[in-house]
């Protein structure tokens, strides 16, 4: 047991440690969108499936010695992928489909090592079952998930805040070399055992009986629903409620805990408790989706949906344990679980953005789970069907209301890789506005009355930081660069002879700004739009000599960190004139970006000031940070009244592409 346990623990720990490490390297190249992580999860699930398929094949079809030789060769060849550092040749142009590029990048960076780690747990469990007749290997699966959980929590809390990315990659690579040595020893030990079939032990299914097609279908469905719940709840919390940094960790941690509990001991999962609780929690989740007072209540939403996902995954994984086969069919069982996980991830991460106009995959997953739970309740717990039916009614009601709201209150709902965009209208009379939102974040509004449609509003109004910075430049025509288009409100500041150049990563945002808003068409300046990640585009452009460069990419709560590093600032400086202004929009509910911006300004000899546009009755409208070398700008009457200094927090450090920590700026 010690050798098998060490091999499984080390392999699973490295498996989940490398996922955020490599995804972190991909984020700066693909716009920093949360969908990058979802695409990475799809890749991880698919490679996990491939690893499980390999483990199943070599266990059932190969003798111990040839199997050990093949696996040893794969482990040794996988060392050629070390260290797991991103190759700059995978940087996209910014215009191609991100999904295939991300998958190719991941395959080139961690392909074979990740596949070897994926195959490790079922393979070693099969070796353990051969070496220990009569002992159940399924508790080793719980150990595997415990190691994964420790890595998942340890990366953002311990490794990321204290170590640069390159150092992390080298440390992980060293750990992988150790794993290869331990795994080779375990394979050698297995090769010395006689080629006898895996012994059977008492299980919840008929001892030693071959699983039927119905069994495989049930395992796949249960695993797929659990995976759908994981990704759908993560999407809901980060897109529709608040993209709190690292919020994706909580659902994934709970998902792993359910595997740990259900596979460690049958006593953790009690259908008589979890089945009715599932129905009640689903009904509560539907209520939270419909109640406007709860829709953006972070505590209620995170608590309720996390609890619902936990109970739902306990049902999925608990039912998997109840239906597990004898160890003779162990690798096929795990292969089916991996297949279900990959199917669920692909449905949410790839198919849903193509076929669903909004985030309906959560409701679809809940309906599938509730129906399956009702069929699995049995005669002993028929009473659970009442709360399960209540949950089904709640989901149907929530979907109906959601569809009705889209039809009556929303002018447009559209979805792609970067999320769901909505255009709606609110207010009456002169206050009637059309707004563009991305999840819970407003990306611009425009007054609809003819006399006010030229007036920039919300974050971009004339008393805000960007408006004042532009107007402080005088009446001359300006060259203005803007990272992040939104509704295009900053185009309202254009003057004849001037140029306003918008950088936007999402083609649908450009389409909406040109079709549903008039800021771009009404601008007196020449308006240009550049499709692609702004940093990649700026790297490839000649110096633009901007008078003002506005970085408007941080109003969402999940920020693209690659736009707020010292390398990014060097790029911005290259594109502004000598006394030009760089304006960072940092209105944010959960992050305080003032300290990292002050450290960046100091590192490059710039003056940094905070511009807070507040309501007369109290409360922030917008918050901007201006950087410049022009000291006289601080005394301008459009700047000085609302300007203030930035907090000095050296512990935040100088953010770079290689080192930054979001934990230090959470407020």
The per-residue pLDDT for range 545-591, each reduced to its tens digit, is 999 999 987 765 456 788 899 999 999 999 999 999 999 999 887 78
H helix or E strand, kind and range, residue 442: strand 441-447
Residue 140, pLDDT > 70, answer yes
Structural domain range at position 399: 207-417
Residue 366, number of CB atoms within 10 A of its CB: 29
Q: Are residues 300 and 371 in the same domain?
A: yes
| Distance between CA atoms of residues 526 and 578, nearest Å | 22
Lowest average pLDDT, out of 88-102, 217-231, 310-324, goes to: 88-102
Q: Is the pLDDT of residue 662 over 80?
A: no
Tokens of 583: 């304006």
Do 224 and 191 belong to one domain?
no
For residue 475, being part of any structural domain is answered with yes
Is 168 found in the same domain as 25? yes
For residue 299, pLDDT over 50 is answered with: yes
pLDDT band at 152 (very low <50, low <70, confident <90, very high): confident
443 three-state secondary structure: strand
pLDDT tens figures, 178-229: 999 999 999 998 888 776 544 333 334 434 578 899 999 999 999 999 999 9
Compute the CA torsion angle 169, 174, 175, 178 (nearest 10 deg). Answer: 160
Q: Is the pLDDT of residue 240 over 80?
A: no
Distance, CA of 101 to CA of 91 (rounded, Å): 9
Confidence label for 258 from pLDDT (cuts 50, 70 and 90): very high
Contacts 24+ apart (CB under 8 A), 206-209: 207/326, 208/326, 208/328, 209/325, 209/326
Residues 255 and 283 in one domain: yes
The count of other CB atoms within 10 Å of the CB of residue 426 is: 11
- 223 and 368 both lie in a single domain: yes
Predicted pLDDT of residue 639? 94
Please report the pLDDT score of residue 94 as a whole number.
61
Q: Does residue 447 fall inside a structural domain? A: no
pLDDT digits (tens, 9 = 90+) for 380-430: 577 788 899 999 999 999 889 888 877 887 899 988 878 889 999 988 888
3-state secondary structure of 581: strand
Claim to verify: residue 487 and residue 377 sit in the same structural domain? no
Determine contact, residues 231/350, Cβ cutoff 8 Å: no
Q: Give the whole-angstrom CA distance, residue 586 versus residue 367.
A: 39
pLDDT at 196: 56
Q: What is the pLDDT, as a whole number, of residue 447? A: 94
Q: Residue range 228-241: average pLDDT?
A: 80
Q: Given 173, 199, 225, which residue is the final one in a domain?
A: 199
Higher pLDDT, 173 or 383: 173
Averaged over 323-344, what is the pLDDT? Answer: 87
Each residue of 604-646: pLDDT tens digit?
999 999 999 887 766 678 899 999 999 988 889 999 999 999 9
For the chain, give the percent of residues with pLDDT over 70. Answer: 93
pLDDT at 198: 44
Q: Is the pLDDT of residue 479 over 90?
A: yes
Same domain for 515 and 413 = no
- At residue 205, the pLDDT reads 42
Q: Which of 360, 386, 417 is the last residue of a domain?
A: 417
Assess if residue 45 is contained within a domain: yes
Q: Mean of the pLDDT values across residues 27-44?
A: 75
Q: From 417, 448, 477, give the residue that closes a domain.
A: 417
Report the pLDDT averaged over residues 420-441. 87
Q: Are 191 and 221 part of one and the same domain?
A: no
pLDDT band at residue 17 using 50, 70 and 90 as cut-offs: very high
Residue with tokens 């953790």: 268
What is the per-residue burial (b if ≥16 Cβ within 10 Å, else e) of 179-192? bbebbbebbebbbe
Separation between Cα atoms, residue 640 and residue 448, nearest integer Å: 32
Can you say whether the dihedral through the CA atoms of 533, 539, 544, 545 is positive or negative? positive
Same domain, 497 and 638: yes
DSSP readout, 201-238? ---SSSTTPPPPHHHHHHHHHHHHHHHHHHHHHHHIII
Domains in the chain, number? 3
Q: What distance in Å separates the CA atoms of residue 219 and residue 97, rounded to the nearest whole number?
A: 33
CATH of the domain at 45: 1.20.1250.20
In a domain? residue 449: no
What's phi and psi for 181, nearest 5 deg?
-65, -45
- Mean of the per-residue pLDDT values for the chain? 87
List of residues 6+ apart from 616 with CB closer than 8 A = none
Q: Is residue 490 part of a domain?
A: yes
Query: Distance between the two ends of the chain, CA-based, in angstroms?
Result: 46
Q: Report the alpha-carbon distance of residue 385 to residue 382 in Å, rounded.
A: 6
DSSP codes of every residue in 613-651: EE-TTS-EEEEEEEEES-GGGGGSTTTGGGEE-----GG
Tokens of 42: 């799809």
**Residue partners of 422: CB distance under 8 A and separation at least 6:** 410, 412, 413, 436, 437, 438
Beta-strand relationship, 419-426 and 433-438: antiparallel
DSSP class of residue 492 equals G
Q: Are residues 364 and 263 in the same domain?
A: yes
pLDDT at position 512 over 90: yes
Is residue 106 situated within a structural domain?
A: yes
pLDDT tens-place string over residues 490-505: 999 999 999 999 999 8
Domain membership of residue 435 (yes or no) is no
Residue 277 has what pLDDT? 93
- On whether both 236 and 301 belong to a single domain, the answer is yes
Whether 657 maps to a domain, the answer reads yes
CA–CA distance, 526 with 253 (Å, rounded to integer) = 50
Question: Mean pLDDT throughout 365-393?
Answer: 85
Residue 483: closest CA among 551, 573, 558: 551
> CA 609 → CA 7, 448, 612, distances in Å?
53, 34, 10
- The alpha carbons of the chain give a radius of gyration, in whole angstroms, of 27
Q: What are phi and psi of 95, to 5 degrees?
A: -115, -20
pTM: 0.81
Closest CA to 322 of 384, 381, 271, 383: 271
How much is the pLDDT for 33? Answer: 63
pLDDT score at 332: 86
Same domain, 412 and 502: no
The mean pLDDT value for 120-144 works out to: 84
Report d(CA 350, CA 641) in Å as an integer. Answer: 49
Phi first, then psi: what are they for 400, rounded to 5°? -60, -45
Report how far residue 436's alpha carbon sits from residue 426's, in angstroms, rounded to the nearest whole number: 11
CATH code, domain carrying 624: 3.40.50.150
């Amino acid at each position: 047991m010690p050798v098998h346990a060490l091999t499984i623990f080390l392999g699973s720990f490295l498996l989940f440690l490398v996922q955020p490490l490599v995804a972190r390297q991909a984020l700066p190249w693909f716009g920093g969108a949360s969908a990058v992580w979802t695409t990475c999860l799809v890749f991880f699930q698919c490679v996990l499936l491939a690893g499980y398929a390999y483990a199943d094949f070599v266990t059932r079809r190969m003798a111990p010695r040839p199997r050990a030789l093949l696996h040893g060769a794969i482990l040794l060849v996988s060392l050629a992928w070390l260290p797991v550092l991103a190759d700059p040749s995978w940087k996209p142009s910014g215009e191609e489909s991100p999904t295939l590029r991300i998958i190719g990048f991941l395959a080139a960076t961690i392909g074979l090592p990740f596949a070897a780690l994926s195959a490790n747990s079922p393979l070693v469990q099969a070796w353990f079952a051969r070496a220990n007749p009569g002992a159940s290997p399924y508790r080793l699966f719980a150990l595997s998930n415990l190691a994964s959980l420790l890595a998942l929590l340890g990366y953002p809390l311990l490794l990321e805040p204290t170590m640069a990315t390159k150092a992390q990659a080298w440390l992980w690579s060293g750990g992988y070399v150790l794993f290869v040595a331990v795994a080779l020893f375990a394979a050698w030990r297995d090769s010395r055992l006689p080629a006898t079939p895996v012994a059977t032990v008492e299980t919840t299914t008929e001892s030693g009986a071959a699983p039927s097609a119905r069994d495989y279908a049930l395992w796949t469905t249960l695993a797929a629903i659990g995976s759908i719940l994981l990704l759908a709840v993560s999407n809901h919390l980060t897109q529709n409620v608040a993209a709190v940094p690292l919020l994706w960790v909580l659902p994934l941690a709970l998902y792993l805990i359910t595997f740990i509990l259900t596979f460690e001991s049958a006593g953790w999962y009690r259908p008589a408790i979890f089945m009715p609780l599932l129905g009640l929690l689903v009904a509560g989740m539907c209520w939270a989706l419909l109640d406007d007072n709860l829709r953006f209540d972070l505590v209620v939403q995170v608590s309720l949906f996390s609890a619902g996902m936990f109970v739902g995954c306990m049902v999925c994984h608990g039912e998997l344990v109840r239906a597990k086969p004898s160890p003779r069919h162990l690798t096929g069982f795990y292969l089916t679980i991996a297949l279900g996980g990959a199917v669920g991830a692909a449905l949410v991460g790839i198919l849903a953005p193509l076929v669903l106009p909004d985030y309906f995959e959560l409701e679809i997953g809940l309906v599938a789970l509730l129906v399956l739970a009702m069929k699995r309740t049995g005669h002993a717990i028929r009473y659970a069907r009442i709360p399960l039916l209540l949950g089904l009614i709640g989901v149907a009601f929530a979907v109906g209301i959601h569809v009705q709201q889209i039809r009556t209150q929303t002018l447009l709902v559209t979805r792609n890789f970067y999320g769901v965009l909505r255009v709606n209208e609110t207010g009456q009379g002169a206050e009637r506005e059309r707004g563009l939102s991305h999840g819970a974040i407003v990306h611009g509004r425009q007054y609809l009355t003819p006399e006010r449609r030229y007036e920039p509003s919300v974050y971009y109004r004339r008393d805000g930081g960007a408006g004042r910075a532009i107007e402080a430049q005088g009446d001359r025509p300006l060259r203005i660069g803007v990272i992040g288009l939104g509704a295009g409100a900053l185009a309202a500041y254009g003057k004849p002879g001037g140029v306003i150049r918008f950088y936007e990563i999402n083609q649908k945002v450009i389409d909406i700004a040109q079709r549903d808003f008039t800021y771009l068409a009404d601008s007196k300046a020449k308006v240009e739009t550049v499709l692609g990640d702004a940093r990649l585009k700026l790297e490839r452009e000649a110096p633009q000599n901007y008078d003002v460069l506005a970085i408007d990419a941080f109003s969402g709560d999940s920020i693209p960190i690659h736009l707020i590093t010292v390398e990014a600032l060097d790029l911005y400086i290259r594109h502004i004139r000598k006394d030009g202004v760089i304006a960072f929009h940092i209105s944010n509910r959960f992050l305080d970006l003032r300290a990292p911006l002050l450290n960046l300004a100091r590192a490059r000899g710039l003056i940094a000031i905070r511009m807070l546009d507040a309501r007369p009755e109290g409360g922030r409208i917008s918050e901007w940070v201006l950087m410049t070398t022009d000291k006289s700008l601080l005394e301008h009457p459009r700047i000085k009244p609302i300007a203030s200094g930035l907090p000095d927090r050296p512990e935040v450090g100088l953010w770079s592409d290689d080192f930054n920590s979001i934990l230090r700026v959470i407020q």
